[in-house]
Amino acid sequence: MFAILKTARKSVAALALTVAGFALSACGGGGGIALGGGGPAASGGPVQVALLLPYGSGVSTDELVARNLENAAKLAVADLGGEINLKVYPTGAKAAQASASAKTAIAEGAQVILGPLYAEAANAAGLAAAGSGVNVLAFSNNTAIAGGNVFLLGSTFENSAKRLVRYGKGQGRDRILIVHAQNPAGEQGQQAIARAISANGAILSGTVSYEFSQQGIVSAMPRAAKLANSSGANSVFLTAGVDADLPFVSKLLPEAGVTPGTFQYMGLTRWDGRPQLFTQDGIQGGWFTMPDTQRYAQFESRYQSTYGSRPHVLAGLAYDGMAAIGALNKSGRAISGTALTQGSGFSGVYGAFRLRSDGTNERALAVATIEGNSVKVIDAAPKSFGGIGF
């Protein structure tokens, strides 16, 4: 059963981590923060977009995600009614190919690059485009590569951590114990949670880490329970992933004495992906974040009716990128750093989002829980950046 922890996985350092009538628009007026190079001037015609995707990597899952991202981008192009000329470039499995594809795209007139998916490829594309004033809207969620001309579209750990810490504080659940894996995703997640706790006036009651293995989790849970019960914590924040360590942590931690109800369980990752886990004590009643469910449902329905299958969970990132590009081009603005970081943000598949001057992003997220065998939204995603949670 525990073999899932032993399978090869791309870490968060490499991974990214929604319709006729579906608005491709900015959330409102508003300026942004100037970022150095202004980027190509607005053309007054269709904007040239290069879509960099992991075609040719030799990995079947990469091909699947690439196809879904391309499909979503084409839906957006159709909705924009000829305002975008889209051309796809493969990035393969190596950063060098992503760099070469970015250079080719720019030579062929690309005004902005959408993608790549993986952090190494996105970083390489950003470096290749840096001297040309072309910005890169990457599908990655790895904040280590953000900045300069590279902007992240993927939802970051920081987004989820801030949303849950702020919501928890409002519910009186502000003394938080962090439990995380000793791997890149776990450690980056722990850092994001700790920053959110510090920035929002909550209390860090302690941190417990575990080796990313079955024995590591078994050994660490009694330590976590002891600290939770002796530190005054009233919440426990897990970095565990639903397809990896969460099934074991959410079972063993309650058994060790971290009683749900006495302690509020929170999750940095999506907990709705494996319904077979819903009956576990640590999952029932736990909090996690989700995008705007209404907007995503619209996109999912449109995608399925067009392509005959449900979209990959990351597919909407391509639509969101196109939403931002299309909104700026429609208003006659260049796809510059200043325009991309307008304070009002944009409206996309996953709800409201905005790009920050440091290359990261803010996304409007809902807080959800597991109640019985169902997912229940307990605090809806804000519709704009004047709402709660920002």
Tens digit of each residue's pLDDT (9 = 90 or more) over 26-57: 444 332 222 223 344 445 579 999 999 999 99
Write down the pLDDT at residue 143.
Answer: 93
> How far is CA 53 from each of CA 65, 84, 134, 316, 319, rounded to the nearest angstrom?
9, 18, 17, 14, 14
Closest CA to 245 of 223, 274, 206, 225: 274
pLDDT of residue 33: 21
Would residue 317 count as lying in a domain? Answer: yes
d(CA 178, CA 238): 6
* pLDDT for 386: 62
Mean pLDDT of the chain, nearest integer: 88
Evaluate whether residue 385 is within a structural domain: no
pLDDT at 123: 98
Q: Is the pLDDT at 227 greater than 50, yes or no?
A: yes
106 and 120, same domain (yes or no): yes
Q: Are the C-beta atoms of 192 and 207 separated by less than 8 Å?
A: no
Which segments of 108-156 does DSSP mark as H helices, in order?
119-129
**Residue 214's pLDDT band (boundaries 50, 70, 90)?**
very high
pLDDT for res 44: 59
| Whole-angstrom distance, CA of residue 3 vs CA of residue 10 | 16
296-300 mean pLDDT: 95
Residues 148 and 32 in one domain: yes
Together in a domain, 286 and 170: yes
Confidence at residue 274, expressed as pLDDT on a 0 to 100 scale: 86
Residue 22 pLDDT > 70, yes or no? no
The CA-CA-CA angle for residues 192, 66, 322, to 5°, reads: 75
Which of 34-38, 81-85, 202-206 reaches the highest mean pLDDT?
A: 202-206
Structure tokens at 147: 């900045």
Record the tokens describing residue 371, joined without a space. 């109640």
Q: Are residues 235 and 372 in the same domain?
A: yes
- Pair 229, 372 in one domain: yes
Q: What is the mean pLDDT of residues 270-293?
A: 93
**Alpha helical stretches, state H, 171-271:** 184-199, 214-230, 246-256
What's the pLDDT score for residue 11?
Answer: 37
At 335-352, the pLDDT tens digits run 999 999 999 999 999 999
In angstroms, the Cα distances linking 347 to 26, 117, 159, 165 are: 6, 21, 17, 24
Average pLDDT of 165-193? Answer: 97
Burial of 379 (0-12, 13-18, 19+ CB in 10 A): buried
Q: Could you tell me the CATH number of the domain that includes residue 374?
A: 3.40.50.2300
Q: Is residue 119 a part of any domain in this protein?
A: yes
Residue 5 inside a domain? The answer is no
- Shared domain check, 373 and 271: yes
Q: Is there a domain that residue 4 lies in?
A: no
Tell whether 111 and 18 lie within a shared domain: yes
- Residue 98: what pLDDT? 98
Q: Per the domain annotation, does 1 fall within a domain?
A: no
- 371 plus 335 within the same structural domain: no
With cut-offs at 50, 70 and 90, classify the pLDDT of residue 100.
very high
347 with 272, same domain? no
Q: Are residues 249 and 325 in the same domain?
A: no
172: number of Cβ within 10 Å? 10
Tell whether 390 is covered by a domain.
no
- The tally of domains found in the chain comes to 2
Confidence of residue 81 (pLDDT cuts 50, 70, 90): confident
Q: Which residues on neighbouring strands pair with residue 379, listed in sequence order?
A: 367
Q: What average pLDDT does this structure show over 238-245?
A: 93
Is there a single domain that holds both residue 124 and residue 179?
A: no
Classify residue 388: in a domain, yes or no: no
- % residues pLDDT > 70 (the chain): 87
In this structure, the answer to whether residues 128 and 41 fall within a common structural domain is yes
User: What would the mean pLDDT of 316-320 be, rounded to a whole number?
Assistant: 97
Tell me the pLDDT band of 83, cut-offs 50, 70 and 90. Answer: confident
Residue range of the domain that includes 124: 11-155+293-359
pTM: 0.83
CA distance 375 to 390: 23
- As a whole number of angstroms, the distance between CA 160 and CA 180 comes to 15
| 20-24, 91-95, 171-175, 329-333: the lowest-pLDDT one | 20-24
Instruction: Give the pLDDT of residue 82.
Output: 72
Contact 51, 89 (CB under 8 A): yes
* Per-residue pLDDT band at 158 (split at 50, 70, 90): very high
